[in-house]
Structure 1
Amino acid sequence: MTDYQEFLLIFFNEAKAKFFQKEKRNILSGVSERNLCGRLSIYLETLLEKYELENYYSDPEYNRKQNERVKTILDENMEVVTINCDLIVHSRGERMDSDNLIAIEMKKSNRPEAEKISDKLRLRALTKASYDGIWSYDGKAHPEHVCGYQLGIYIEINNDDMNYLIEGFISGEKVFDTIEFF
């Protein structure tokens, strides 16, 4: 993990701690994952300035890339798949040097295993540096498919045990996991 990825993890962990502290009743009430992602987005957004991440945004269900095209990735079979990640921290294409910071997928523990696997595969794809090692020569064009997120985070919330699993992805690989209580 690079220093910058560690910095982003610290940023995420502060937002995550506030989210689980302040949203405990909301979580236990059984609201949708979409609501929870929206709430987590608020805590991330409010910390952007503190961490000097100006010109970045925390967007739930964001599905556009440069030129307002739909975001796509290549799946494990190298087929084009449209994506709609639960929550991302990114520059909305404004920063060529470091557009994509954090991709987050959230699931409740009672969801089907296939959905959980799909989310983790998406995070692996999103955190790869590129699919074919090819980047634009001029440094002004983004890659065809979305990739290059510095950090991927999978959150699985277990209301019955009042805990959550966090799995971290970097460069297409799972690099850590932890279970914490709320």
Structure 2
Amino acid sequence: MQVRFTQNQLTELFKASASKLFQKDVNSILDGVSEPMLCSRMAIYMENLFPDYKIEGNYYADTEFNRKQNGKVKTIIDDQMQVIRIKCDLLLHSRGEEVPDNLITVEMKKSSRPAFHKAADRKRLRAMTKKQDVYSTDGTTHPEHVCGYIIGIYMEIDKSKRTCLFEKYKGGDMIESWSLTF
């Protein structure tokens, strides 16, 4: 199968979307608006950038999306093989309409949030970016649990220091980190 989207292409799309967020919404960030509001703004910027990054087809930047094919609740399998319901902060996906379906998953946290919330987001990103545990032989049947996102991004915003920490996940592992000052 030909690769439609590269890791680099999706990373650059994410970085451009985050850059727009920190340019256009810095006052909202400093005022302490909610993570869902910030993710909603970033989703708008991301979709507007699709043409620049050659994202073609039926792809969507959705916030707080918790459904998969046929209206079922999205679930993942954690490292103890427990089924966990998920609702990610931001997803770039096709809602089951395209192959590949799952491109980017984003979890955002404020630095003031408890450590166990941050750890849960990182665990979710590892699970969502791991390789699919169930493969279809027909090429159209989706796995029972959500996984196989090309990249996952963890964002931690520290408004007092005016910085954002980013961690990039691929294949179930954190592979890169960087920070941005706003």
The number of equivalent residue pairs is 178
Alignment partner of 2:52: what SS? coil
2:166 corresponding residue in structure 1: 166
Partner amino acid, structure 1, of 2:177: D
* Aligned counterparts of 1:90 and 1:47: Cα–Cα separation in 2: 15
Greater displacement, 134-143 / 104-113: 134-143
* Aligned counterparts of 2:125 and 2:109: Cα–Cα separation in 1: 13
* Aligned counterparts of 2:84 and 2:33: Cα–Cα separation in 1: 28
1:30 corresponding residue in structure 2: 32
Alignment partner of 2:7: what SS? helix
CA-to-aligned-CA distance 1:35-88 (integer Å, 9 cap, x gap): 111111111111112222121100000001011110000012111110000000
Alignment partner of 1:49: what SS? helix
Q: Which aligned pairs between 1:143-182 and structure 2 lie closer than 5 A?
A: 143-182=143-182
CA-to-aligned-CA distance 1:127-175 (integer Å, 9 cap, x gap): 01113xx301111100000001000000000011000000000000000
* Aligned counterparts of 2:53 and 2:25: Cα–Cα separation in 1: 22
* Aligned counterparts of 1:92 and 1:48: Cα–Cα separation in 2: 16
Partner amino acid, structure 2, of 1:180: L
1:179 Cα deviation from its structure 2 partner: 1.6
2:104 corresponding residue in structure 1: 102
1:90 corresponding residue in structure 2: 93
Partner amino acid, structure 2, of 1:45: E
- Unmatched tracts of structure 1, length 5 or more: none
- RMSD, matched Cα: 1.2
1:135 corresponding residue in structure 2: 135
Candidates 67, 78, 92, aligned match of 1:64: 67
* Aligned counterparts of 1:146 and 1:59: Cα–Cα separation in 2: 15
**Normalized against structure 2, the TM-score is what?**
0.95
* Aligned counterparts of 1:29 and 1:64: Cα–Cα separation in 2: 31
* Aligned counterparts of 2:20 and 2:34: Cα–Cα separation in 1: 19
Alignment partner of 1:25: what SS? helix
Alignment partner of 2:32: what SS? coil
**Normalized against structure 1, the TM-score is what?**
0.95
* Aligned counterparts of 2:23 and 2:135: Cα–Cα separation in 1: 41
CA-to-aligned-CA distance 1:3-39 (integer Å, 9 cap, x gap): 8001110111111111111110010001011111111
* Aligned counterparts of 2:93 and 2:61: Cα–Cα separation in 1: 7
* Aligned counterparts of 1:49 and 1:90: Cα–Cα separation in 2: 15
